[in-house]
Amino acid sequence: MPSHEFEEPPSLTQPVRGIVLAAGKGTRMRSNLPKVLHLLRGLPIIEHSLRSVLQATGNKPLIVVGQDAAAVRAAVGERADFAVQSEQLGTGHAVMQAEAALRGDPAQQFIITAADMPLVRAETLRHIAAERERSGAAIVMLTVVVNDPRGFGRVVRDAGGNVSAIVEEVACSPAQLKVNELNGAIYCVEAAWLWGALRRIQPNPRKGEYFLTDLVEIAVADGRTVRAIVGADVDECIGINTRVDLADADAALRRRINRAHMLNGVSIVDPATTYIDLDVTIGADTTILPNTHLLGRTRIGSVSVIGPDALLRDSVVGDGCEVCQSVLEEAQVDDGGGVGPFSHLREGAYVGQHAHVGNFGEMKKSRLGARSKMGHFSYLGDATVGEGVNIGAGAITCNYDGVRKNPTIIGDGAFIGSDTLLVAPVEVGANATTGAGAVVTKNVPPDSVAVGLPARVIRRKPPKSSDV
């Protein structure tokens, strides 16, 4: 029983194509959402299998879809071809639905995977195909040896160690139930043999379904070899049938993602409470502190510190930044910028180089220029703030007049006094100052001081030394 630690993906000489089974009803999820569209680390379950198959084969797979065809097609788009299985008569029947589209396909072998096995790696699929090419077996399959049977089919081997059958749990004898080598439901099958063999599968007497797993006995009856590769990473064979499986898969995938980042030079203080989606990138020497969620297409630069308790979704953080106990959504923080503790950067928020927002600051569709500070209880909405600006405690933009959102512009070097209300649309010129509690309803010219309710200009300021 050879066990393989897959390293270098081998090259294949025979063309190969993927068939992904996704037509099952997913009853055990107890959900209105199709099973394969539930999210796993931020991506639909099927997206994971699709990417692995695309990467392993280099061409579009054929996805067998069922009652949820429209929703699955919408999620996958042009990256696959589709066949429809209108009645769910089992995994063998599902592959039969692919025949019309794939007969005459130049592929000499097919990788068959289940969409609900999202953790299988592209390299593993290539190894299975390479082993099939090398051995000339009718089928090479992935198995896993574990002590928890998970309801999986059991792998039966003959006295010589060759695979002779896969027996589904419902059909197992008491002795077979004790077998701890399980079917991973990932196969590479010779194309010339597949279609004829499928036609010989009989409906299972207990469930009335056509089990794909019966192909093993059919191959053996044909005098063909069936080889099994025992996967070294048991996580690859997590199949998602229930929401309990989904949580297990998420935990396993998180471990895998965190490990890859750590090996890439990112410090993760507590991997168990660090949640990083698949497409996130992080530069070297960045530290991720506990209870941090890096989601979607978030990108983090180098030598930054993120967390604790941070949630970043689809956001970009530069080099040398700090983000502490804050939420960022479609926001950007430039090099050296600081956020938090306790800030909320919403869509279109931009914090410039070495700028800082913290202590209950909120920003939406707003820019805070380089070296500007907004340290205490502030809100910027639809605002453009220049460089070197100080936004005093409690200052806010009143950007919404009940009908529309209006812009606020604050020039370089301005000083916005504590509790200033900027009633938009309004502009505060460069180097201007507003007094504490000012309600600014009209533009404040550059280099002037405005105070009161409504704010009035009370004096011009002497030019700054740098302006002379």
Residues near Ca ion (CB under 5 A):
116, 239, 241
Letters for 57-86 (x = contact with ligand UD1 by CB under 6 A, - = none) are -------x--------------------x-
Residue 82 or 152 with smaller CB distance to Ca ion: 152
Of 52, 91, 433, 434, the one binding ligand UD1 by CB under 6 A: 91
198 forms part of the interface with ligand UD1 (CB under 6 A): no
DSSP 8-class letter at 271: G
Q: In the set 152, 187, 350, 379, which binds ligand UD1 (CB under 6 A)?
A: 152
Q: How far apart are CA 183 and CA 153, in angstroms?
A: 5
Question: Around Cβ 43, how many Cβ atoms within 10 Å?
Answer: 18
CA distance 305 to 282: 11
Q: Which two tokens stand for residue 392?
A: 């005093």
Residue range at the interface with ligand UD1 (CB under 6 A); choices 206-214, 290-298, 381-389, 410-418: 206-214
* Separation of alpha carbons 338 and 289, rounded Å: 15
Calculate the CA 369 to chain-centre distance. 31
Q: Is 93 in the site for ligand UD1 (CB under 6 A)?
A: yes
DSSP 8-state symbol, 398: E
| Selected binder of ligand UD1 within 17, 68, 112, 116 (CB under 6 A) | 116
The helix (run of H) or strand (run of E) holding residue 360 is: none
Q: Which does 213 bind (CB under 5 to 8 A by kind): ligand UD1, Ca ion, none?
A: ligand UD1
Half-sphere exposure of 434 (CA within 13 A, CB side): 39
Q: Nearest distance from residue 186's CB to ligand UD1, in Å?
A: 8
| 376 labelled catalytic | yes
Residue 153 within binding range of ligand UD1, rule CB under 6 A = yes
Q: Which of 114, 194, 323, 430 binds ligand UD1 (CB under 6 A)?
A: 114
Cα distances from 71 to residues 34, 38, 53, 462, in angstroms, run 8, 12, 20, 65
Is 280:262 a contact under the CB 8 Å cutoff? no
By CB under 6 A, residue 115 contacts ligand UD1? yes
44 binds ligand UD1 (CB under 6 A): no
CA-angle at 63, arms to 61 and 64, nearest 5°: 145
Annotated active-site residue in 4, 127, 293, 376 = 376
DSSP-derived secondary structure for 114-181: ETT-TT--HHHHHHHHHHHHHH--SEEEEEEE-S--TTPPEEEE-TTS-EEEEE-GGG--HHHHT--E
- The CB-nearest residue to ligand UD1 is 153
Backbone angles phi, psi at 34, to 5 degrees: -55, 140
Residue 245 beta carbon to ligand UD1: minimum distance, rounded to whole angstroms: 9
Interacting span for ligand UD1 (CB under 6 A) from 21-29, 324-332, 343-351, 371-379: 21-29
CB of 130 to ligand UD1, least distance (A): 22
Contact flag: residue 302 with ligand UD1 (CB under 6 A): no
Task: Give how many residues touch ligand UD1 by CB under 6 A.
Answer: 28
Three-class SS of residue 248?
helix
Q: Which is closer to ligand UD1, CB of 45 or CB of 306? A: 45
Residue 110 Cβ vs Ca ion, minimum distance, rounded to whole Å: 19
Minimum distance from residue 42 beta carbon to Ca ion (Å)? 22
Structure tokens at 276: 């990083």
Would you name the residues annotated as active-site residues?
376
Give the interface with ligand UD1 as residue ranges (CB under 6 A). 21-24, 64, 85, 88-91, 93-94, 114-117, 152-153, 166, 168, 182-183, 185, 211-213, 239, 241
